[in-house]
Structure formats: C-alpha cells, structure tokens
Amino acid sequence: MLRVPTGDQRTLVFFDGTTVEFHFAGKQNDWVEDELQMIPKSGTVPVQWTRLDDVQASVYLAKIWNKEHAIYAGWGVEFQSNETDEFGQIVLKCRIRCSDNDGEVQQVGYHVVAVGILRVGVQAEKSTDYQKTADQ
C-alpha cells in the first residue's frame, strides 16, 4: 500500500493484493458463478476511512487450476461494485466464474486507488480477506 498526502487533509491510497487461496470449482460444460467480496488491506490490517471521496478498482484472476485436459475449461472474474462497510473499510464485490468439472478459480487479485480521509488509530473488529455470499 502506498499513501500520498494530497495537501487538503486527504490521502490518496494505492492498494494491490490477492485473496487467500480458495477452491471455486466448475461443472462440466456449464458455468458456475458466485459473488466474491474482498477487503483491501495494508499487510494484514484493513484500512479504515472517516470519509471516502472516490474509489477506482479493478480485479483479475490471480490463480487458476485444471487437473486433466481442459476441454470445456473457462475461468473469469468481473468487477461489480465497491462500498464501505460499518467499519469504514472498502469492500470490493465481483463475480467469479468457472467451467469444466476439474477446473478451479483459486485466487483473485485487485488494484485499488482511493482518496479521502483515513481513520487514525482504529483497528477493525472484524476482517476477512474474502467472503463468499452463496454456496458453491
């Protein structure tokens, strides 16, 4: 994470990272999809904001896997939105997709640029690298 003071009491922050490894499997010649939520962090600590003025984010496939021949294989991730949770943390939402019965999406990465006023000296009560919102 890189923090740059803007001169007007705000901070421009650049985040890059990946989720913890997970195993999101596809089905033979059919797409399986789900929503994934990620909280960008500074090391292992989520960054909290008092006021968040703007966020630009992108997500990408960081790790995929296939056991045998990739006949019907396909992997995808699509950024949907970002919001701020009750702790002042940025939450990125995306859709992950996978096809092929032995293919998996195992890790998703993100790049975030945000500007606003950081909360000082407060740590989040809860924190997760990613949260699935539906069963596979």
| Residue pLDDT, tens place only, 25-48 | 888 778 899 999 999 887 778 889
Q: Does residue 131 sit within a domain? A: no
Q: Does residue 92 sit within a domain? A: yes
CATH of the domain at 16: 2.60.40
CB 10 within 8 A of CB 53: yes
Q: Does residue 78 sit within a domain? A: yes
Q: What pairs with residue 98 in β-bridges?
A: 32, 75
CB 52 within 8 A of CB 87: no
Q: Residues near 54 by Cβ (< 8 Å), separated by ≥ 6?
A: 114, 115, 116
Q: Does residue 79 sit within a domain? A: yes
Question: pTM of the entire structure?
Answer: 0.79
Q: What is the model's pLDDT at position 135? A: 39
Q: Does residue 64 sit within a domain? A: yes
Q: Does residue 134 sit within a domain? A: no
Q: Does residue 44 sit within a domain? A: yes
pLDDT in tens, 43-73: 778 889 999 999 999 999 999 988 887 777 8
Q: Does residue 15 sit within a domain? A: yes
Q: What is the model's pLDDT at position 123? A: 44
Domain span holding position 18? 2-120
Name the domain count of the chain. Answer: 1
Confidence of residue 121 (pLDDT cuts 50, 70, 90): low
CB 127 within 8 A of CB 46: yes
